[in-house]
Amino acid sequence: MKALFVGAEQASSMLGINECIDAMDGCFRAMARGEAGFPPRFAMPLPSKKGALGLMPGYLAKEGVFGLKATSVFPGNAGTKYESHQGAVLIFEAEHGSLLAAVDAATVTRLRTGAASAVATMALARKGSSVLSILGSGTQAMSHLDAMAEAMPGLSKVRVWSRSRSNAEAFAEGASRRGVDAEACEGAEGAVRGADVVCTVTASTSPVLLGRWLGPGAHVNAVGASRPPARELDSDAVKMARLFVDSRESARLEADDYLVPLREGAIGEGHILGEIGEVLEGKVRGRAGDVDVTVFKSLGLAVEDLSAALLVYRRALELGAGTTVEFGAERGTGDNGPSAPPPAKDR
């Protein structure tokens, strides 16, 4: 058996943001049709408490594949040469269960997360939205800038805030070199007020976005908080919004942006109006009017990783890229049936 391994540099060159947006749109729709699914993710903290191993399995029925993202999560890598998330997305074919590919997980995660927010923005934000606020200045901030440029054709202004003023300024300078009118703001409130779309991409465990800062008609992509106790939105922001998620089950297990206001009694269990795939498929109404505040709570799903990695795998096959490795073995068959396993070695 042969499996294709695609590293970070090659994966980045093969996974364009527009293609990834299309893949996320298809992935969310497949979920709404019952053609894609996944169990709750599993995380194993290391005894050192420095990091954890995350395992995220899922399947895409129509594509005939299933897979797993196995990734280490080391928040302390911020500011070093190492990504905070490192690992691989493994793709298996569903006919015989053979491994097809292993694709760099950090690349896949970076691009699919921004692409998912772009899909939600196109579905939920007001038409003509032009002012973007980004809270956070790390890897996902730049990914979301690229994604929002596609989701907001009239994008005219970007305001960024970070707890590190120097990081915010560096981000704004980098965005300006790419032809974007970008400004680093002293406070989060200044970045948010008057924004049409807000993307929260921080690692915060306490709210960085307050509901009173949001104007009528704003749309929020709440991205950075993916497991308790991480939280980016205060209860007022969630209460005032029409709330949509990538997965109800995941939100009820992992989203403190939703669970904290629920425990406080600020909202009820029915406050989640639907999954974004249901909005795309016309099963659930998204924005009801121009003054509605909408929130997309993104947790990141195994099927998103699998959809994006599948794009990379297919492109690598077309280009003859990646490294092919003999992985696994076919059982030998002959007149006497399958070959016997080798004898056990003494231990």
Q: Give the span between the Cα atoms of 39 and 268, in whole angstroms.
A: 24
Residue 228 inside a domain? The answer is yes
Residue type, 302: A
State both tokens at 250.
Answer: 């995941």
CATH number of domain containing 216: 3.40.50.720
Question: Are residues 149 and 281 located together in one domain of the fold?
Answer: yes
Residue 332 inside a domain? The answer is no
Give the 3-state secondary structure of residue 254. helix
Question: Are residues 217 and 260 located together in one domain of the fold?
Answer: yes
pLDDT digits (tens, 9 = 90+) for 66-110: 999 999 989 888 778 888 889 999 999 999 999 999 999 999 999
Give the CA dihedral 311, 317, 323, 329, nearest 10 degrees. Answer: 100
Residue 347 inside a domain? The answer is no
**How many residues would you count in the chain?**
347
CATH number of domain containing 57: 3.30.1780.10
Question: Are residues 243 and 226 located together in one domain of the fold?
Answer: yes
Question: Are residues 183 and 319 located together in one domain of the fold?
Answer: no
Model pTM?
Answer: 0.91
Question: Are residues 306 and 257 located together in one domain of the fold?
Answer: no
Q: What is the pLDDT at residue 1? A: 80
Domain total in the chain: 2
Question: Are residues 83 and 165 located together in one domain of the fold?
Answer: no
Q: Give the span between the Cα atoms of 59 and 94, in whole angstroms.
A: 9
Residue type, 14: M
C-beta contacts of 67-71 below 8 A and 24+ residues apart? 67/91, 67/92, 67/302, 67/305, 67/306, 67/309, 68/302, 69/105, 69/108, 69/109, 69/302, 69/305, 69/306, 70/105, 71/105, 71/106, 71/109
State both tokens at 112.
Answer: 């699919």
Question: Are residues 192 and 236 located together in one domain of the fold?
Answer: yes
Domain that holds residue 75: 2-108+302-326
Give yes or no for a contact between 192 and 293, defined as CB atoms under 8 angstroms apart. no
Q: Give the span between the Cα atoms of 194 and 304, in whole angstroms.
A: 31
Q: What is the pLDDT at residue 337? A: 38
Residue 152 inside a domain? The answer is yes
Q: Strand pairing partners for 323?
A: 5
> Which of 266, 250, 257 lies closest to 206 in space, CA to CA?
257
Q: What is the pLDDT at residue 76? A: 87
Give yes or no for a contact between 101 and 313, defined as CB atoms under 8 angstroms apart. yes
Residue 99 inside a domain? The answer is yes
Give the 3-state secondary structure of residue 339. coil
Question: Are residues 213 and 85 located together in one domain of the fold?
Answer: no
How distant, in Å, are the alpha carbons of 7, 90, 343 from that of 317? 14, 16, 37
pLDDT digits (tens, 9 = 90+) for 188-227: 999 999 999 999 999 899 999 999 999 999 999 999 999 8
State both tokens at 61.
Answer: 């029925």
Residue 231 inside a domain? The answer is yes
Question: Are residues 83 and 197 located together in one domain of the fold?
Answer: no
Question: Are residues 68 and 36 located together in one domain of the fold?
Answer: yes
Q: What is the pLDDT at residue 335? A: 44
Residue 114 inside a domain? The answer is no
Residue 172 inside a domain? The answer is yes
Give yes or no for a contact between 152 and 197, defined as CB atoms under 8 angstroms apart. yes
Low-confidence ranges of the chain (pLDDT < 50): 333-347
Q: What is the pLDDT at residue 97? A: 95
Q: What is the pLDDT at residue 83? A: 82
Question: Are residues 92 and 217 located together in one domain of the fold?
Answer: no
Question: Are residues 237 and 307 located together in one domain of the fold?
Answer: no
Strands 85-93 and 65-73: antiparallel
